[in-house]
A and B are shown apart, each in its own frame.
Chain A
């Protein structure tokens, strides 16, 4: 890899690593995992940057797509390990949760189905368009719209927010 490529990756890392960490942390709520995903995203970017076509998508979309794919892979792997060696993992879902805890946004986001959670995080916290979200998640725009609608409805119900604003 040339030094120009290295400089470019370092610049991209400086610009986007915080956004990627914030997305993965809100999605997984796991600090160590999010840390790893940020680093893996840029390692994978270095490997596949020749596939990036600036005329087709923004670099942020490309990086988020890599980060999302890595997140999915790691979570699937973790779930397999959980099934195989359940005693090595925390079982938060079995812990009693107080009423106050139940209505916090963190707990509520974790209660959303994963595909709806990703859409609401990208829309609200990262201000991405539905077209960009569709490109990241590799789904049609219509699916993004319906997932956003469902996730907002569920969030309002869980957080007991009025719908009449």
Chain B
């Protein structure tokens, strides 16, 4: 079995998944990586409050609040 054995209808569906390739430099840039990480979609924190109270979450929450407040020291 190979590509040519795929039914036309399925080929049409597969063709619908087009990918636009962004400009990617060969060299890695630290700032770009940080930007990618920062702009990656994150979960809505409101959902966290309503659904995600596990013992681990509760234990880590003070640490997260502390880390998030570090930038405030530089204001």
Contacts and interface: CB of A to CB of B under 8 A. Distances in A.
Contacts of B16: 104-105
Contact of A90 (B6, B37, B41): B41
Interface in A86-127: 86-91, 104-106, 108-109, 123-125, 127
Contact of B52 (A86, A105, A106): A86
Nearest to A18: B21
B45 to A, nearest CB: 8
A74 interface: no
Interface string B1-25: 1110011111101101101011011
Given A31-B22, A91-B43, A165 B17 contact: no
A161 B24 contact: no
Q: How large is the interface on A (under 10, 10 to 19, 20 to 34, 35 or more residues)?
A: 35 or more
B66 interface: no
B70 interface: no
Given A35-B36, A87-B57, A129-B2, 6 more contacts: A10-B26, A90-B43, A91-B43, A109-B17, A127-B3, A130-B2
B7 A36 contact: no
| Residue with the highest number of chain A CB atoms closer than 10 Å, among B8, B43, B56, B57 | B43
Contacts of B75: none
A159 B11 CA distance: 11
